[in-house]
Chains A and B, each alone.
Chain A
């Protein structure tokens, strides 16, 4: 065999299943059994790509926080390996952890320190030289600058949440974990946070967020992972996911209300609204024969007339709910 070709063979058919040049976090075979004996994570394999926004979705208790806590060094894993930019989180914890910023799910701050002291403390803790100008910029970006001399205890919940973000950003992380960043945050602030996350991404920061607001994942994420009962059940580019698993709906506004779906149309998955004015047809848009044309023909044949029609893609939320429903 030609040497170059054999090299190619090596690369293409490498036995290392999770090797990827572009991945910044590599989680392989990670399990977690808590002291209570509860198995919170079962064999997690996951790669996070450099510079992406990755949304980790899952119902309460799925293991999102546990997984994040393991990567960040707060919880010990029971088995498996995790590397951050090539640094093993156990052997090379200093290098791994200095790259990571974490905004935890719970609001936990030393209540008696000022905002300024709190954020500078975080920076020092991560071994970064003092940089007042940078810390100022972080606080300004998060609209906390005029609160810099206030004690944390005097801040509102939303401001505390921003303070937690400021702490995480204070040491210029390359990877940012946001564990439910917008829980209990008003719409305006949520928009601000999304804008901030996009700015960070433009600077090359990789962002992993967990959320219950699926529209958030839908609006922000490049890729989506779904975790349930300690298992990753799906990882997919958001666009592909919506295309593959998405369903389409066609709404027909009827000229005259119907009492029931006509007999001749019963083989279509049709749903009639309570007032009988609207007919909804749900179909798989990947299918060769979505049946839209034949439905319209059959409607005509049945004498059902409609004033207007629109179609929409199902949201990530619906996909998500369907996925979990399929799980045993």
Chain B
């Protein structure tokens, strides 16, 4: 294992985040605050609570997941797409590093950033609403698992993408709608029958539900199913990455 290489890549990825530290911290703080103003206050004045949880508090896990998913994907996809785009990837390909080491470094870097982001959002949210975390271990577990899974997913997108457009396409057309329809701002029990069934095909529902359970002990679907779905999605991403690296897909001509 070329741990020095893993560390070198990881450090550069983290340095990129800290170089834009203002942006990395301020933008989630601002957007979280805006969500609270718009959703928490405007909607919260009509819906006072869901499942016995104050609406403002109810949306916190969903908000965290929303940012976690989009940021994991964009961090990881950009991190590998950019060197491909400017050509500096030659160095990575010519270095004595294995594909596994490349993944650990890039995905690790992207996931670390998203976890930190999630915690910043949590801290911001705590300023607006009283929070309660019933299962801190599972909260962290879901946080890390989701960050890793979607960083891996982003990594795959970054390798697949040939243009900046394609890089934006998947997050824009698939991930964002799925997240908004994933029960961040409502309980899926509030949906009319057929929509509830359709929603169950949305993987994000399971992530948010499980994550919310770790906060308030209440879930839309059972926690076991949530965890199973998250792990399954991780496994699918790992399988795709393994295939990419076995074939050298879009990395080595």
Interface of B: prevailing SS: helix
Q: Is the CB of A112 within 8 A of B94?
A: no
Question: A69 vs B91: C-alpha distance in the bound complex, in angstroms?
Answer: 11
List B contacts of A111 (CB < 8 A).
86
Q: Is the CB of A129 within 8 A of B94?
A: no
Q: Is the CB of A126 within 8 A of B87?
A: no
A113 is an interface residue with CB less than 8 A from chain B? yes
Question: A75 vs B86: C-alpha distance in the bound complex, in angstroms?
Answer: 17
Question: A35 vs B252: C-alpha distance in the bound complex, in angstroms?
Answer: 11
Question: A104 vs B8: C-alpha distance in the bound complex, in angstroms?
Answer: 21
Q: Is the CB of A75 within 8 A of B92?
A: no
Q: Is the CB of B248 within 8 A of A125?
A: no
Query: Which of B19, B87, B92, B98 touches A125 (beta carbons < 8 Å)?
Result: B92
Q: Is the CB of A94 within 8 A of B253?
A: no
List A contacts of B87 (CB < 8 A).
104, 106, 108
List B contacts of A93 (CB < 8 A).
96
Question: A100 vs B93: C-alpha distance in the bound complex, in angstroms?
Answer: 12
List A contacts of B83 (CB < 8 A).
110
A214 is an interface residue with CB less than 8 A from chain B? no
The segment from A116-124, A218-226, A255-263, A282-290 found at the interface with B is: A116-124
| Chain B 8-32 interface 0/1 with A at a Cβ cutoff of 8 Å (1 = within) | 1101100110010000000000000
| Chain B 56-91 interface 0/1 with A at a Cβ cutoff of 8 Å (1 = within) | 000000000000000000000000000100111011
Query: Could you say which of A74, A97, A109, A124 has the most chain B C-beta atoms within 10 Å of its C-beta?
Result: A124
List B contacts of A204 (CB < 8 A).
none
Q: Is the CB of B96 within 8 A of A74?
A: no
A237 is an interface residue with CB less than 8 A from chain B? no
Question: A127 vs B248: C-alpha distance in the bound complex, in angstroms?
Answer: 22
List B contacts of A69 (CB < 8 A).
90
- 22 A–B contacts, CB within 8 A, in A order: A72-B90, A72-B94, A73-B93, A75-B252, A94-B98, A95-B96, A97-B94, A98-B96, A100-B94, A106-B87, A108-B86, A108-B90, A110-B86, A110-B88, A111-B86, A123-B8, A124-B11, A125-B8, A125-B97, A126-B95, A126-B96, A127-B96
